[in-house]
Structure 1
Amino acid sequence: MSADDIRRFTDAAAKQPPSPSSDWTDCVHLLDRLAMFDIIPAMASVDRQKIELIMGKAWGMFSTFGALLIASAPTLGGDMTPAALTMTIAYRRLYFAYTVLYKREIAYLDIPPEQVNDGRVYLGCTPMSDAGIRHEIDSAIARAQDALAKGTVLTMWSQSLPAGDWQANDEVNFKLPKVGADACCGSIRLAWLLTTEARQRPNGSLISNLAAAQHYLRARRQVCTAILSAGQMDILTTEYDNQKRRDIAAGKPNRQAGTANPVFPPDFQMRDWAIKGSKDGEADRQRCNAAKSPPLWRKIDEIYPTGSVEGGVGTA
């Protein structure tokens, strides 16, 4: 749409007192006709109290019986996403914009992927696609396999050094050691480290396809090596997003940042790829590392010991 359409919405919202008794019908219709990349900034230009009232009106206008049943039950942490998923596409679009603006999250609400990417772009991230993620994964694994075959490891800024050496990079305080010729999991571990390096470069953390590839490779490596079970890896993946949500709610969205780069917001597609990574890692383990079995549960400080390469690698 256009700036004129956004202005019509903001003018209509400005005319209404911030009261439940005000008529927000026109505001809902004007908001609904906007493209996603206009809905979010349009909402941002109106006082949140009024946006809450507009969303309440939209709920009444676009509700379904199933949504009302779900909404009648308590939801974890006030999260209305399960109920919203049963709503019409009109409401899901508005609620998606609401979660982007106020929760800084890319939530699964079954809307078209290009609209989901509008939300990512609003939060400072690049667009994401499954094909793009797979390309990043395959490229990283190919680079890792080539480096290991040649007896070198690739390091920050596309440098290389003998595989028996250590490379320290002062810009990011990151060390990449010899990985070793582990035929089963070694190339996955190195691929994960290579994507981590790329994300630690200035402005690298919000490249969406790269971020999802890194999380996939991390999960696949942890499960392939039997450091973690697939079940524990999936639990940690989910909890990692929960911790991001808590940090955002506390006004500290970059609390877990390992560098000066910002933390990637909670994102359902990135979480799905991490879970796929643990599944593929378990297939790897059964195929070529079956002699090792993961514990039922491993303590966090055993997974990422202080001072270890894994413990010093930021994966936000």
Structure 2
Amino acid sequence: MVADTAGGGAVASPAELAGLLDRHGYLCDDGLATACFLALRMGRPLLLEGEAGVGKTELAKTLARALRAPLIRLQCYEGLDASQALYDWDFPRQILHLRAAEAAGAADAARLEGELYDRRFLLARPLLRALETSPSVLLVDELDRADDEFEAFLLEILSDFTITVPELGTIRAERPPVVVVTSNRTREVHDALKRRCLYHWLEHPSFEREVAIIRRRLPDATAHLAGQVADAARRLRGGGLLKPPGVAETLDWTEALLALGARELDPDAAAATLGAVLKYREDQERGGALLAGG
């Protein structure tokens, strides 16, 4: 599967894909651009792992915009089961249909029962919507939060992109969606699913790329301020914090500074806005000491 760009042609190289993502506001390095290109070219899901806030989810969102395809997001959590991810029957509408048919004097019980499981009463959840929408980008976000049983179920779906609804038959994707699976690695994703996917680990960006990201997303930030924030974020990430800041927090921090009219990250401005970047009291105490120490 080779994805079509907005101009109607095929993405020919990782560099071209990186440029396409760049035009839609996402700056990626060569490794990520290559992994994403190969996932598109080979028709394989892309499994992205890395700490929270490094841009895994944002990549899927930007890819959908770049390919002019709808983004269908399945947010994973503990206890997520197949019916919540796949499909369910609209029970209230089925009951209303049953009552309306009875009031109209319908007497054929077998026909009435068959009508209750018509496609119009099927509620498509994210996985089914992704199979029925062509083209589309399917984001399976934070798979590590879901249970092992759901991961095994997802592997089956990703293997052949078909879903069987007993009352309706088998639904097959006309064109498989582009699939991005993310994990913050709170637990290990099983080898069976990893073998089905292409894999890329997202690191925190380099200093230069983080400065570029800040200035791209927040044009009012000067090069000086963006450099100060990126440098401070780098020091915080190496400070043994409970929750080191990701790029998302770096952007929030810069936006908070701009909202206060700050032109540079001095000690007073850092102290006033630390809650935008560090979300644990212990981290704020340690982070304040790290920043004060230069």
Give the alignment's TM-score, normalised by structure 2: 0.24
- The structure richer in helix per residue is 1
Larger radius of gyration: 2
Select the structure that is richer in strand.
2
Q: Determine which structure has greater relative contact order: mean sequence separation of CA pairs < 8 Å that are 6+ residues apart, divided by chain length.
A: 2
